[in-house]
Structure formats: C-alpha cells, structure tokens
Amino acid sequence: MASEESFVVLVHHRGSIKRKTRSGVKFTDKDPLCIVVNPMTSYDDLVRSVLMKLGLEGAKRVKKFFYRIPRQFPEVRTPELHAKLIDVVSSSGGSNRNTTNVATAAGSSSRAAVASSSVPVYEPAVQLVASPSFAVDLNDGVGDEVGSFDILPNALEGVPPVGVGDGVLGDADEDDVEPDTIEDDSGDEVGATGPALAGGGSSSGTQQYPPHFSSLDLDAMRHEGVLGHAVGFGARDAEGTAGLTEFQVGQQFQDKDEALLSVKSYSIRRGVQYKVLESDHRRYVGKCSEFGNGCTWLIRLSLRKRKGLWEVKRYNGPHTCLATSISSDHRSLDYYVISAFIMPMVRADASVSIKVLLNATAAHFGFRPTYRRVWMAKQKAIALIYGDWDESYNDIPRWVLGVQLTMPGSVAVLRTSPVRVGGQVDESQAYFHRLFWTFPPCIEAFRHCKPLVSIDGTHLYGKYGGTLLIAIAQDGNSNILPVAFALVEGENAESWTFFLSHLREHVTPQPGLLVISDRHNGIKAALEALDEGWLPPSAYRAFCIRHVAANFALTFKGKDARRLLVNAAYAKTEVEFDYWFDILRSEDPAMCDWANRIDYSLWTQHRDEGRRFGHMTTNISECVNSILKGVRNLPVSSLVKATYCRLAELFVRKGREAEAQMGTGQQFSQHLVKCIEANLKTARCFTVTLYDRDNSKFTVAETTPTGSFSLGTYRVSLASRTCDCGYFQALHFPCQHALACCAYSRLTWTSYVHSVYQISSVFSVYQMGFTPPIPEGFWPPYDGPTVIPDPDRRRAREGRPRSTRIRTNMDEADPNRPKRCDLCRQPGHTRRCCP
C-alpha cells in the first residue's frame, strides 16, 4: 500500500565547517547519514531521528526545516532537505548556530531501486503545506534554488508545528536568517531567492510542477498550497504516473507530423530527452539520450504505403533512466508542438496576446518556452488557419477582381514595385507596395454621417511589418464606422498622400469637411498639397487632443498639468478656455508658451466653429477594438477579406437597431434623446427674459449653478442657434438654456436639431447592405506577375520580436534631450546613480 511506502533520507555530516558568507560565518555539516521515513512519520519523529543520527540529542534542537533544489545534479534529480540546528539554551544563556544539510532521495524506496519503472507512485494520505513562495525563475541568478516548507503531521490536524519556517528569509530576527549560500559537495551554491521543482522551472510569478502530476493533484496543490511529502519532490521520472500512456507496437497515426507531435509530447510529459537517429519520408527512429547508460528506450515508426498511415514498428519502453539536469525549458517543446496546442485559442481569437499563450503553454506542459518561440508558434498557427503569410500577398490581385465582381462599385487600388535580380527587372514577380480599398455601402453611408472624418494608422502584428491606415466616420447615434482602408509600408508623406488622395476622390468629396488626425508630418504634407483638395475652404484640419496631450506630457510631467490642458481644449467658450489657461499659466508659464505655438483652431473646441460636433479624438482605438479586433494579426489577404465580413455584420446589426427605433415612432437617435433629457432636467432652474417680438432672442439667468464653470446669465438666439455657453453651436442641438427658451415661448425644440441626429438619417447610413461574397472558385483569373512580400518588411528572424505598439511622433522623445532621473527628476544622471 502507498501508505506503507518508506523512503530513505540522506543526512550529510562532516563536523562543523566554517565558511564566510555575506551574512556572516555559517556552519555546514556534510557527512552522509540515512534516515528511513514513511507517510506516517510525524514531525517530532523526524526531528528526533535527525538529532539521534547526529548524536546531538539534548545538545541541539531543530530550529527550522527548509529545502533546496540544485540546478544540476551529477546523477539523479532530487531536492535536498536542510535542518537548522541551534543549541539548547543552557543556564548561561549561550547558544551556537549550526546548519545541517539533509538531502531527500525522492522516489527512492527502502528496497533497492534498480529502475524508476519499479517505483510506485506515492500518494500521501495527508496533504502537506508548501511555502506560498514556491515559484522561481530558473533563468535568473546563479546557483541552486532554496525554499522552505511546512510539514503537517497527522497528529497536529492541520496546525503547523513550531519551528517550521515560512521561508528562508521569513523571520525578521537577524539570527533567524538562513545562509545566503550553502555549498554542497559539488560546489554548487544555494541562492536565497525561492525554490524550484525538479520537474522543470518556472518563470517569475508562475508556479510550475512536474508534468506527471494529474490535473486533480495540481488543482489541489494550487488551491491549498500542497506539494506532498517533503521526500516526494523528485518523482518526475517515476513510472506509472498519472495521465501518461506508453506507445504500443501497431499504433497508427494519420501522418508523420501527428506521429512526431505524439513522440515530442510524450518526451515533454516524461521530462526526458531523446535523439533522432533517422528521419525521412518513410522512417523515423528515435532513442533516449541516455541509451546505453542504463536506459533502453527506443521507438521506430514507418510509413505503410497502402494505407498511407504511420505505424509504430518497434518500441522499447518505458524509460528506465533518471533525468540528470533541471531546466525551465525542454528541447522537444518547439514551436511546432506549441502551435498545435495553442491552435484552438488562436482560432477563437487571433488577437490573443503572446503572454497569455506563453502562460497557457507553461501551465499545460510544465515547461516555460521563450517568448520568441511562442510568437513563432502563433504565426504558424495563424498560417494554418488563415493561409500562408507569403502566399497571401499573391491572393490580393484575385481578391480585387473578386470583390469588384461581388459588389460593382468597389474601389481597390493595388500598387506594386519591381523586383530586380542581378540588376535586371524580373517581369514574373512584383513586390507588394500599397493597397487602398473601400466598398459602395461605405461610400453611401458617409453621405449621411457627420461631416467629419478621423484618420489614423495602426501597425500590423504578423510575419511582415506594415501599417493599416483607416478613415473613420460617425453617425448621428455616435456609432463609429470605418469607411476606407489602406495597407502601406509605414506612415510617411508618400503613403499618406496615396491614402488621402483616393479617400478624397472616392469617399469624401463633400466641401467643408473636417479631418481629425494626429500631428504626424506625413499627414501635414499630404493635406497641404495644392492639388489634393484638402485645403480650406474645401476641407479643414483639427488635431486629436489625445495626441496633443501626449506630446505635452513628453515635455511637462504630471497628470494635473495634462488635465488642465485637456480641460482648456474641451472648453466651448473663450471665457471658459481663459479660466483653465490661467490656472495652467499659474502652474508654469512655459506650459502656456508650449500650447500657444499650436494654432488654437487646430486643438481647441471654442475656435473650431462647430465643425467637430463635439469630437476631440480620432477614435482609432475604439474602431480597432470594436470592429476590426484581431485583423492586424492576420495575413494580408485574410485581413482585407475580414474587413468585408466585419462591415457586412456591422451594417446588418446597426441597420436593424435603427429600423427598430423607427418602428417605435422615434424621431431622433437614442444618443440625442439622452442628451435632451439630461438638459431638460436642469432647464427648470432658469429665469428666461424675452428681448424681441419674434421669439428669437433671450437671456437666461441660472438660479443655481449647473456645472463646474458657470457665467450666471446667458444670451440665447434661436434664430442663429447660438448660446453663450457654446454647447448649442458646438453640438448642433439645443442646450439647456435653449430648451428653457423654447419652453418659455411654447416652441418645439425639434426644429433646432441638426438633421444628422434624425433616426431616418441614422437608418440611411446602414440602408445599403453588403452582398454575399462570391466563392473564390468563381473569381476571375489573374494573369499578372506574382505578387510577393517585400523581404525588407520581414520581422527580425532572431531575438524577441520588436514591439508593435502604435507609435507616432508623439511617442518619440527628442534624441538631444538630456536624460532625467526617475527619482529627483533632475537631468544629468539616472536613477541608479542618483545622489
């Protein structure tokens, strides 16, 4: 029975050896002794056995037990149990300190263990408490790993015994601190950072366990802090472990990839390594890395030509070796294995982060691969699901023909660059350069949206770099709608000119249009071109206040100053703007000087003459997260196809909502109705005075202030649709003061609302729907040159992939600007050398 299984504990004792460490002189005993324990051994019995073997009964007592796991072992993978011994206090009050090393032969039976396959799995009857800090990054630091644990004997019924520590550095008393380093016979050092399991390391903050533990065992361990008996840590190589099965002769696989995946997964679960002796299109042979040194594990798989299946022809198993090293990674855990595991997660959400996939892989296999390997695995999974990254570029010309056949009137402009081989142009191939596309429903929808468009770019996350440029409109119900797209090499003057010229020609020909963007120099050059139609009065430009505030924060630190700048930008009257600007000037006059260098009409709301409709940002993040979520992670052909499907779904959903609102008899959008209801609640606290016979000019006095900034008395002109508060002319629907004037004159407020807020206009935005796409087999043939990706856009093949965070010039600090200390904020030095 498992409860009767006994284990051998090795105790090292070589007398008191002094050794200097950072925390003082420590004593280490290294002579090997043997103690036999079993699951029924109590804590007191263990203490008594240690002292009896050392011959120190009555002279010493056990202060604390703790353990360590060496990084490399000469023969077997096993943790070591250490006991801190102190003198029994005598009448004189003096005491000595001494530390004894106790190494646990985990998984070793009291009988001779000729092979790991003969050792039964030990299942303790009582779960034992582990240190809550049982997680360590094996890639950090040097030396062995040290940790402490608590043992709960049956007799104590869950109460930890006195003297069992919570950690190596767990006590505040200086005398109770364990040695910083403890040497063993091999000269390894024990760092005082935290323990690691013999079953493979873990990264910082992630708890790892040997892969042979069942999920039920792991759940119990995670939730209750249980790791099993102190002498059971090294059983990774034990046979008969939960959840593992051996290969069988005659076992068949659909193809070689499935067979290799099974062999690699088996090796990872066992925590052992194997070598490939032969691998071709007909045969695969692998043997244990320790073959000939006590292990005979070997597997031979062959292709059965008649059935087309791979079959196990010979199998010598299971492994009879013990692992000789410990690592947080495994050689067989390559990106092919990882891609097969993460495939369902990537299929469900292509935008799932690498960090999430890495943690899931580490939790499943018990090993923690590198970030780069998981990134490559995700790219492989995406390629299997959505198509090859390189071939997707050649699918774009056919897609252009197919979408124009599906929906006549679709605009798709493809630009390529020549491929030169040895100084000569290769006519059979062409590099992908740029692509602009939009669809007839988007063109028609923009005619019924607010007369403004936001433009911005976002980087692609795939195998090849690039930038997706997007033009975003907004309907009268505050729903954002992408109306045009472009794939370009990056944000520069040429790429923005390409995008904006086609946007003006095909989507936004209306005069008096407002363009909201960041302060990118490429956008500025494209909008200021004389022949593109973006100059006033044909079009006007405004800055996204989020980008302006981000540029401001690069020069002036502090959230309060940034908040004052944003409040000034959102002010709808010059009086309110001056109020916030004066506060900003009192903080630092240089802040106002910085803001004055930008034309007020570009970033303040009170100078935009109502063209913004209250919109101060580009809405790019909302658009990507709500409509285009995940498309940046896809191959280019899948990306452009996804825009068609996502927009078709959006038009159906929003069209149904608008149609349902029209069916209930509503006249205006839900967004406007909510704003009007909020204004009506405060309109009852005003005193209205009429100043003309045409019921058009009024003064409104507030009996109580209605906001953080109040003038007290406001002039309202219903004929010109203006109010001193600025809301009427900025938002194009009656403010609270205008509503009070309408109620005083018994006029309906509906005639003073802009037509874009009518529910009929909102429905017209989505009235023209998309048609089902024609299957690719019916697309017209393409007989042009093969379109291939530009190799210069290929991401780095080595090292961690570069960050693909959206970065514009607002994120780029001045290279000539001196560095500042994070602590004192003074230039000339860094945090590390701050005086």
Same domain assignment for residues 16 and 67: yes
Q: How far apart are CA 817 and CA 547, in angstroms?
A: 20
CA separation, residue 558 to residues 563, 565, 587, 616 (Å): 9, 11, 11, 21
Position 541 pLDDT exceeds 70: yes
Average of per-residue pLDDT values in the chain: 77
Q: Domain range spanning residue 461?
A: 409-544+634-665
Q: How far apart are CA 67 and CA 413, in angstroms?
A: 67
pLDDT bin (cut points 50, 70, 90) of residue 290 is: confident
Position 552 pLDDT exceeds 50: yes
Same domain assignment for residues 261 and 370: yes
Same domain assignment for residues 561 and 525: no
Ranges 238-247, 417-426, 517-526, 618-627: which has the least confidence: 238-247
Stretch (H or E) spanning 86: strand 80-87
Instruction: Give the tens place of pLDDT for each residue, 126-148.
Output: 333 333 322 333 333 333 333 33
- Residue at 259 is within a domain: yes
Last residue of a domain, one of 329, 354, 386: 386
DSSP states of 331-389 as a string? TT--HHHHHHHHHHHHHH-TT--HHHHHHHHHHHHS----HHHHHHHHHHHHHHHH--T
Give the pLDDT confidence score for residue 795 in this predicted structure.
81
Same domain assignment for residues 526 and 559: no
- Residue at 625 is within a domain: no
Closest CA to 419 of 408, 409, 431, 410: 431
Closest CA to 603 of 553, 541, 550: 541
**Number of domains within the chain:** 5
Last residue of a domain, one of 729, 752, 775: 752
pLDDT bin (cut points 50, 70, 90) of residue 74 is: very low
Dihedral of the alpha carbons of 305, 262, 332, 191, in degrees to the nearest 10: -170
Instruction: Give the tens place of pLDDT for each residue, 790-821.
Output: 999 988 766 665 555 545 444 444 555 666 67
Last residue of a domain, one of 371, 386, 401: 386
Ranges 124-128, 427-431, 578-582, 777-781: which has the least confidence: 124-128
- Residue at 579 is within a domain: yes
Same domain assignment for residues 689 and 731: yes
pLDDT bin (cut points 50, 70, 90) of residue 712 is: confident
Instruction: Give the tens place of pLDDT for each residue, 459-505.
Output: 998 889 999 999 999 999 999 999 999 999 999 999 999 999 999 99
Same domain assignment for residues 571 and 447: no
Instruction: Give the tens place of pLDDT for each residue, 357-366.
Output: 999 999 998 8
Instruction: Give the tens place of pLDDT for each residue, 168-188.
Output: 333 333 333 333 333 333 333
Same domain assignment for residues 448 and 577: no
- Residue at 14 is within a domain: yes
Same domain assignment for residues 557 and 489: no
Residue 517's domain is classified under what CATH number?
Answer: 3.30.420
Amino acid at the residue 86 = I
Q: How far apart are CA 807 and CA 818, in angstroms?
A: 21
More confident residue, 325 or 627: 627
Position 41 pLDDT exceeds 70: yes
633: number of Cβ within 10 Å: 21
Same domain assignment for residues 538 and 569: no
Position 398 pLDDT exceeds 60: yes
Same domain assignment for residues 344 and 447: no
Give the pLDDT confidence score for residue 191 in this predicted structure.
32
Decide if 56 contacts 85 (C-beta within 8 A): yes
Same domain assignment for residues 17 and 47: yes
Q: Which residue is associated with the tokens 């361990």?
A: 221
- Residue at 825 is within a domain: no
The pair of structure tokens assigned to 616 is: 């101060």
Position 150 pLDDT exceeds 60: no
Q: Give 422's contacts (C-beta < 8 A, 6+ positions apart).
A: none
- Residue at 197 is within a domain: no
Half-sphere exposure of 12 (CA within 13 A, CB side): 22
pLDDT bin (cut points 50, 70, 90) of residue 425 is: very high
- Residue at 573 is within a domain: yes
pLDDT bin (cut points 50, 70, 90) of residue 19 is: very low
Half-sphere exposure of 201 (CA within 13 A, CB side): 25
- Residue at 564 is within a domain: yes
Give the pLDDT confidence score for residue 306 in this predicted structure.
86
Same domain assignment for residues 538 and 436: yes
